[in-house]
């Protein structure tokens, strides 16, 4: 795993919930980096995970060597030092010497390079391997390289989030029978309404519409498009407030520096927050919007629906399989600020429509994305390979 709790991310959260479940009946060891922020793969000054042990299974965290820190001698390493990383020589060394200590290897997520030593270790020691790539179909140049496709071809099983992801892999002649669709899910028992009111905390009036966007704040995730669309609303004196949670990427930071004060006063950037605060914001928002072009499924959409909130998402293949336009969501083309403005105004002006889409979304989570049932399917697959 490229990063692990308390690091925040869709694939990170997905594998954590699976491992928490599997650890009830199996001995688990996690090999991961000490990265807290994704940029630590290339920035030695980025935040790292210190002493953090809240699991009943072992989590081994390895130091990342960033490009600027690489000794010239390391360029003779077995595999090229590549982008996007992470490059962890100690992880490579320990995986190379695992022998027959394990019965199964689960490797996630693409396109990161820690999967290479996990794959080699599995093959050298004749251990079955499941790869969970979380493919973002918008970036074939990263996900469908010869090396990564080769590992998928030789894997014992591949877990994908959607049928669209499976179809994309079948085009590369990967065995149909080894590709299993098991999407991430939610434990709805954990999604009860918290006591704290986020409106009171942020001093937002009861009349205002709160739009929430959660995840990495960046151009690819649609944060910049969302703010640009909201500028149109704010120029029309619409009573709308934007709440953002999640880490900030460099392009977003530069964008915000140039925003006028009249727009900034409507943006509440909470940064990385606890699960409890996150639930508060999801329950107290009126609309969830993340028009991202970079997603394999988008677990945050499920979290919004768990709280009966309507979703504004991006009209891309992976999201179309999860979100139903006009039923539980409104989908817009990436970067189309006119469409996005209209979607925001349509939902902001129609409480009945917001409630209708939110209820349909919650029904979908209950019927399709029940975490316990999905984890049971994952465990059955693991047991069939051992």
Q: How far apart are CA 289 and CA 285, in angstroms?
A: 10
Q: How many CB atoms lie within 10 A of CB 326?
A: 10
Assess whether 118 and 196 both reside in one domain: no
Assess whether 168 and 226 both reside in one domain: no
Assess whether 123 and 192 both reside in one domain: no
Inter-residue contact 289 to 312 (CB < 8 Å): yes
pTM: 0.86
Inter-residue contact 28 to 115 (CB < 8 Å): no
pLDDT higher than threshold 90 for residue 267: yes
Assess whether 160 and 275 both reside in one domain: no
Beta bridge partners of 240: 209
Assess whether 151 and 262 both reside in one domain: no
Inter-residue contact 246 to 222 (CB < 8 Å): no
In this prediction, residue 29 carries a pLDDT of: 96
Instruction: Confirm whether 3 is domain-assigned.
Output: no
Assess whether 180 and 45 both reside in one domain: yes
DSSP 3-state of 29? strand
Instruction: Confirm whether 200 is domain-assigned.
Output: yes
- Going by pLDDT thresholds of 50, 70 and 90, the confidence category of residue 318 is confident
Instruction: Confirm whether 173 is domain-assigned.
Output: yes
Give the CATH number of the domain where residue 267 resides. 3.40.50.2000
pLDDT higher than threshold 80 for residue 84: no
Assess whether 51 and 173 both reside in one domain: yes
In this prediction, residue 194 carries a pLDDT of: 77
Assess whether 180 and 215 both reside in one domain: no
Instruction: Confirm whether 95 is domain-assigned.
Output: yes
In this prediction, residue 43 carries a pLDDT of: 83
Residue with tokens 């630590």: 40
- Report phi then psi at 184, rounded to 5: -65, 160
pLDDT higher than threshold 60 for residue 266: yes
Q: How far apart are CA 307 and CA 310, in angstroms?
A: 9
Instruction: Confirm whether 216 is domain-assigned.
Output: yes
DSSP one-letter string for 67-121: GGG--GGGGGSSS---SS----HHHHHHHHT-TTS-S-EEE--TT-TTHHHHHHH
Helix (DSSP H) and strand (DSSP E) numbers for the chain: 16, 12
Q: How far apart are CA 57 and CA 26, in angstroms?
A: 9
Q: How many domains does the chain have?
A: 2
- Going by pLDDT thresholds of 50, 70 and 90, the confidence category of residue 76 is low
Inter-residue contact 206 to 198 (CB < 8 Å): no
Instruction: Confirm whether 361 is domain-assigned.
Output: yes
- Going by pLDDT thresholds of 50, 70 and 90, the confidence category of residue 78 is low
- Going by pLDDT thresholds of 50, 70 and 90, the confidence category of residue 60 is very high
Assess whether 263 and 326 both reside in one domain: yes
- Report phi then psi at 64, rounded to 5: -90, 140
Q: Which of 143-152, 187-196, 321-330 has the lowest mean pLDDT?
A: 187-196
Assess whether 134 and 168 both reside in one domain: yes
Instruction: Confirm whether 5 is domain-assigned.
Output: no
Instruction: Confirm whether 163 is domain-assigned.
Output: yes
Query: Which domain does 35 fall in, by range?
Result: 10-185+370-385
Assess whether 91 and 63 both reside in one domain: yes
Assess whether 80 and 178 both reside in one domain: yes
């Amino acid at each position: 795993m490229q990063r692990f709790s308390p690091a925040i991310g869709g694939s990170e959260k997905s594998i954590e919930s699976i491992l928490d479940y599997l650890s009830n009946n199996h001995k688990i060891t996690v090999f991961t980096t000490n990265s807290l922020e994704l940029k630590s793969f290339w920035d030695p000054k980025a935040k790292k995970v210190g002493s953090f042990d809240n699991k009943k299974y072992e989590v081994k965290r390895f130091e990342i060597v960033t490009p600027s820190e690489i000794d010239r001698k390391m360029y003779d390493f077995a595999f090229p030092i590549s982008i996007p990383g992470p490059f962890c020589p100690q992880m490579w060394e320990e995986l190379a010497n695992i022998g027959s200590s394990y019965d199964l290897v689960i490797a996630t997520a693409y396109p990161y390079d820690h999967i290479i030593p996990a794959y080699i270790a599995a093959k050298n020691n004749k251990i079955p391997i499941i790869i969970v790539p979380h493919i973002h179909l918008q970036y074939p140049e990263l996900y469908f390289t010869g090396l990564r496709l080769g590992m998928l071809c030789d894997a014992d099983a591949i877990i994908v989030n959607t049928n669209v992801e499976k179809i994309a892999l079948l085009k590369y002649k990967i065995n149909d029978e080894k590709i299993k669709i098991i999407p991430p899910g939610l434990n709805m028992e954990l999604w009860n309404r918290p006591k704290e009111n986020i409106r009171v905390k942020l001093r937002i009036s009861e009349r205002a519409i709160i739009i929430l966007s959660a995840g990495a704040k960046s151009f690819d995730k649609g944060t910049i498009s969302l703010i640009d669309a909201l500028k149109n609303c704010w120029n029309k004196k619409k009573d709308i407030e934007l709440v953002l949670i999640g880490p900030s990427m460099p392009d977003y930071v530069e964008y915000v520096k140039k925003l006028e004060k009249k727009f900034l006063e409507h943006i509440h950037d909470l940064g990385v927050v606890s699960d409890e605060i996150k639930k508060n914001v999801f329950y107290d928002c009126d609309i969830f919007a993340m028009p991202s072009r970079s997603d394999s499924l988008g677990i945050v959409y499920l979290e919004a629906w768990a709280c009966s909130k309507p979703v504004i998402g991006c009209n891309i293949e992976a999201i179309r399989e999860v979100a139903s336009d006009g039923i539980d969501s409104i989908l817009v083309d990436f970067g189309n600020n006119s469409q996005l403005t209209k979607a925001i105004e349509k939902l902001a002006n129609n409480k009945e429509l917001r409630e209708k889409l939110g209820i349909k979304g919650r029904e979908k989570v209950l019927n399709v994305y029940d975490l316990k049932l999905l984890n049971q399917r994952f465990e059955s697959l693991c047991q069939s390979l051992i």
